[in-house]
Chain A
Amino acid sequence: MSDITKQSLTELVENIKNKKLSSTDVTKAFIDRSEKSEQLNAYITNDFTSALDNAKKFDQKPNLDLKLPGIPMAVKDLFCTKNIKTTAGSKILNNFVPTYESTVTENIWNEGAILLGKLNCDEFAMGSSNETSFFGNVQSPIDKNLVPGGSSGGSASAVAGQLTPVTIGTDTGGSIRQPASFTGIVGLKPTYGSCSRYGIVAFASSLDQAGPMAQNVKDCALLHEVISSYDPKDSTSIDFKRNHYSKELTNNIKGKKIGIPKEYRVDGMPKEIEDLWQKGIQYIKDCGAETIDISLPNTSYALPTYYIVAPAEASSNLARYDGVKYGFRAKGENLIDMYEKTRSEGFGVEVQRRIMIGTYVLSSGYYDAYYLKAQKVRKLIKNDFDEAYKKVDAILTPSTPSSAFKIGEKTNDPVSMYLNDIFTVPVNLAGLPGISIPAGHDSKGYPLGLQIIGKAFDEQNILNIAYAMEEKINFKNKITDWWIK
């Protein structure tokens, strides 16, 4: 079967279960395509030899009751994988080989999936274009001059380019949804506490969440069902009853109330985005749901709040990289000199910038003015959503204020790069689930996404809305395989 890599996860699972395909067939096909796709630079580390061995082992004694039977999968290089190098896209972790496995990836392997390799990302997930990675930028399968988005840029590129059937990314301010939107795929950021953070390289602990990225909503639901679990090893993991998201998926959203927040109509937003949003509203109505105008008055304060909270947490989390216990060490004349040189040479420009912001806002004399202030505004932003959810079941917005930009276009202007996450950041601040689905193309033919934001723990509802809309939208990603050797 030559078109194996074109199949969805759901189709692959079915074909393996019906014995039309073996795990070896599928794994070989994705390895072959990944090897021909080096130009995208989607992988940091590949594990193809072991993957093929594991596929053969699976086929010798296949357990077809599993949810991901013998399915090969590459994952973002932010998840610790036992005995496989895990870099977080940073020089400082370039030689780090974890001795333990993240809970989320453990859940995936326990359901029969096979690791293909580790995918490129912005350094410590700090970036919106995958250009801050120590391992170089990633090209978008949409066009070689375009960024795939970030920070889960390698993940987005790998799914859109069919180098892996599905993948997992992490989302602190939009790092799953924005790259999904830029590359024409589906990406879900779950409710805070839904997926364990154990074994994920920490960026901002009150915002970080792992989530699925896939070609379609059903695949996304299936993978979410596998990764979401209560985990005592993460003190912020929440013990709630999780759905069988893929089994309970329905396109019947009749009578649902969907909020349209007027504050997301930002200055300078291209007409194409507004048109897409209007089309989305029409699709919602065509599905038999109702749209209601709502207000989230503090939306414009979300991004400034995020750029205090996230760097503050990052500066604390990244204090552990001191050249002593693991990772890169620079030579120094004494202990302090060794610390300072290790961190100066080991971290890239964007990571240093964020550590500096975080250190400043937490420093003596500035804590109240910045960090405490941001925590208060964060409360107001959460209150906005709580208020809105008294009237509506979910909220529809564009995923990003523009389509994908060119490589190098925003690297010299951090603020303009940050503005890219304007529609995704409020969701992280409020700890809510959000899904981006591909919904159309701009005049240049680049994909555009719509975001559905849900109530906390209401992933099933936003997956259903996404599923219903997906059917109406009937999006076709324009992938020409230009990079295939």
Chain B
Amino acid sequence: MSIDLKTIKHISKLARISVDEQRAEKLAGDLNSIFDFIEKLNELKTDNVEPLTSIAETTLKLRSDEVKSKNIREQIIKNSPQDNEDYFVVPKVIE
């Protein structure tokens, strides 16, 4: 299998990470060597194996639905790069 530049561009778009040509080529090389190594899994037959989706063999505990954090508006907004009163500010979305 080979990951080409077009695929790298596609993944970078999905991941929302802008990648220039030079970076894309380096990434393609890295990802190809990593996937060569990952392909080893194809040696194993796993048709009848149940996937492991949770490592902790426990069921989720139920609890009453109570508000525990009150009046934390200020805390939530405290680390925002840009805010206006109680809102996060982002670049204009609607023209």
Contact = CB atoms under 8 A, between A and B. Distances in A.
A66 B76 CA distance: 33
A30 interface: no
A96 B79 contact: yes
Given A325-B88, A327-B79, A382-B52, A304 B19 contact: no
Contact of A376 (B12, B14, B52): B52
Contacts of A298: 44
Nearest to B75: A99
B18 interface: yes
A329 interface: yes
B70 interface: no
Contact of A327 (B16, B81, B93): B81
Interface string B70-93: 001001101111100000101111
Contact of A380 (B38, B44, B90): B44
A360 interface: yes
A356 B88 contact: no
Contacts, number: 159
Contacts of A207: 55
B33 A415 contact: yes
B30 interface: yes
A325 B41 contact: no
B38 A307 contact: yes
A384 to B, nearest CB: 12
Nearest to A419: B37
A332 B37 contact: no
Interface in A251-274: none
Nearest to B37: A415
B50 interface: yes
A85 B34 CA distance: 34
Contacts of B10: 363
B34 to A, nearest CB: 6
A236, A355, A376, A414 pick with most chain B CB within 10 angstroms:
A376
Contact of A375 (B51, B80, B90, B93): B51
A347 B27 CA distance: 14
Nearest to A311: B34
Interface residues of B, number: 51
B72 to A, nearest CB: 8
Interface string A408-447: 0000001100100000000001110000000000000000
A370 interface: yes
Contacts of B51: 372, 375-376, 378-379
B60 interface: yes
Given A236-B56, A379-B52, 18 more contacts: A99-B72, A192-B55, A236-B58, A301-B41, A304-B39, A307-B37, A326-B79, A335-B91, A335-B93, A343-B18, A356-B12, A356-B17, A360-B7, A360-B31, A363-B11, A363-B14, A372-B51, A379-B49
26 contacts: A99-B75, A99-B79, A236-B56, A307-B38, A308-B38, A324-B80, A325-B79, A325-B88, A326-B80, A327-B79, A334-B92, A337-B18, A344-B18, A352-B27, A356-B8, A356-B11, A356-B27, A356-B31, A360-B11, A374-B41, A376-B49, A377-B41, A377-B49, A414-B33, A418-B37, A430-B55
Nearest 9 CB-CB pairings of A with B: A375-B51, A326-B79, A431-B55, A329-B81, A340-B18, A99-B75, A379-B52, A376-B46, A376-B49
Interface of A: 95-97, 99-100, 192-193, 206-207, 232, 235-236, 238-239, 298, 300-301, 303-305, 307-308, 315, 319, 322-329, 332-341, 343-344, 347, 352-353, 355-357, 359-360, 363, 370, 372-380, 382, 414-415, 418, 429-431
